[in-house]
Amino acid sequence: MTASPSLDRGARTEDDADWVMLLLAWLLYFSFALTVASLAPIVGTVRSDLDLSYGEVGLVLGGWQLTYLAAAFPVGYLVDRFDPRWVLFGGALFVAGSQLARSLATGFPTLLAAVALLGLGGPVMSVGLPKVVAEFFTGRSRATASGVYMTGAHVGHATALASTAVLVAAVGDWRIALRCYAVVVVVIAVAWVVTAKPVSRGDVGVRTPLLAGTWHVARAPGFWVVVAIGFAGFLGSHGYRNWLPTMLADAGMSATRAGVIAALPALLGILGSIVVLQVGAGRHRRTTTIVLLLVVSVSMTTATLVEGPLLYLTVGLEGFCAAALVPLMMNTLMELPEIGPRHVGAAAAVYFTVGELGGFAGPTLVGAVVGATGTFTAGVGALSFVMAAMVLVAVRMPQPKTAS
């Protein structure tokens, strides 16, 4: 069989890159994260307007991960077999549809269904974008791109947390605010499909079948170690950050101030995604992963016990370190010789499917514990324990032969 162009690119240079595609990938992840985080800053308002309990809010915040679980494997197959340009465009439209449907919710069932719709667009982003990076970048440029495109998610998350309450105050209605965000997502989707380059591959049509591809990546040495760490990262990040604005407001902060402080993890995550990948994506990735897990664990617990400048420091430090885990794990998968660009869609599908189980369990667990105890300390403590326990798994992190 003739080698695919992606492999030919790798043969020509160790640092082949397409930065226009990276910018477009960044915008798509921005739009996705903007939608994911748009409810968190206005939970109090939405909960009051729709008469929701804390437990129902917890289910809503994590509800899209359930849909994600059903969609991730088929999406991985589509991304590996067809041009990601059109698959990602369709995913972006689902993201916009979820944002619009939220603005039309009348109670718990309709809001949960609207958020669940995001689970159809979510896996397209999280599985399709690594495929774009793997196809258009090689060598050290791939490690850089893995960190950079992830910053789109952090900027989108921070934008939602910092501006949603302000936007609601400006337009006078949380429903109108969410519709404004839906328009932003549609504009980005159109820019992507008009500007993005097709992935031209000589082996299109003879890709590994869905089950065979999944079985192939599942047997790769070290694969499940990476997946387990990803699960813990999603559990901690989704559980902690979805509830952080409410946790701060519960401590007496205004909704606007709580939203700004809750945006710190996403803002510091921009630096973390890039800096940590540059330092720790090579032979130090195992040590880097262990340090990240420990810092995240300690920072989350500390944030429930302190206030003032120390609170800002711990919230920001958690964001800096937690944000680096996902791109570090994805870069590890891309560099495993058994996976590479050819099977990264299937590998990402498994990784994000298991990860989103943690993404659903995190906010649901915290919401249930808060409802039972009336305090966030125990719920966040449980998340911190899981992150610390992952150190025992991280000592078996694979060291890809191609790591730079």
For residues 333 and 188, which has the higher predicted lDDT (pLDDT)? 188
pLDDT single digits (tens) 7-39: 344 444 444 558 888 999 999 999 999 998 898
Dig out the tokens for 376 from the structure. Answer: 């966030």
Confidence of residue 92 (pLDDT cuts 50, 70, 90): very high
pLDDT at 210: 57
Residue 201 has pLDDT above 70, yes or no: no
Q: Is 5 among the domain residues?
A: no
> Averaging pLDDT over each range in 66-75, 195-204, 205-214, which range is the top one?
66-75
Mean model confidence pLDDT for the chain? 82
For residues 89 and 150, which has the higher predicted lDDT (pLDDT)? 89
User: How far is Cα 65 from Cα 194, in angstroms, rounded to an integer?
Assistant: 29
For residues 301 and 359, which has the higher predicted lDDT (pLDDT)? 301
pLDDT at 84: 80
Query: Tell me, what amino acid is at 328?
Result: L
**Of the given ranges (27-36, 48-57, 352-361), which has the lowest mean pLDDT?**
352-361
Q: Is 399 among the domain residues?
A: no
Q: Is 386 among the domain residues?
A: yes
Q: Is 203 among the domain residues?
A: no
Query: Domain of 105?
Result: 12-197+209-394
The owner of tokens 């991960």 is: 65
- Beta carbons of 190 and 96 less than 8 angstroms apart: no
Dig out the tokens for 360 from the structure. Answer: 């659903």
pLDDT at 370: 76
Q: What is the CATH number of the domain that holds 276?
A: 1.20.1250.20
Angle at 328 between CA 324 and CA 329, to 5 degrees: 120
Number of compact structural domains in the chain: 1
pLDDT single digits (tens) 389-401: 999 999 988 775 5
Q: Is 145 among the domain residues?
A: yes
Q: Is 97 among the domain residues?
A: yes
Question: What separation in angstroms does the CA of 391 have from each of 323, 381, 402?
Answer: 17, 16, 24
Q: Is 17 among the domain residues?
A: yes
Query: Tell me, what amino acid is at 125?
Result: M
Closest CA to 300 of 229, 394, 366: 366
Angle at 101 between CA 95 and CA 104, to 5 degrees: 155
Q: Is 25 among the domain residues?
A: yes
Query: φ, ψ for residue 367 (rounded to 5)?
Result: -60, -40
CB atoms within 10 A of CB 247: 22
What predicted TM-score, i.e. pTM, was given to this entire model? Answer: 0.71
Dig out the tokens for 79 from the structure. Answer: 């991304």
For residues 388 and 69, which has the higher predicted lDDT (pLDDT)? 388
pLDDT at 15: 45
pLDDT at 60: 86
Closest CA to 366 of 70, 52, 54: 54
| Helical axes 340-373 vs 54-62, angle rounded to 10° | 180
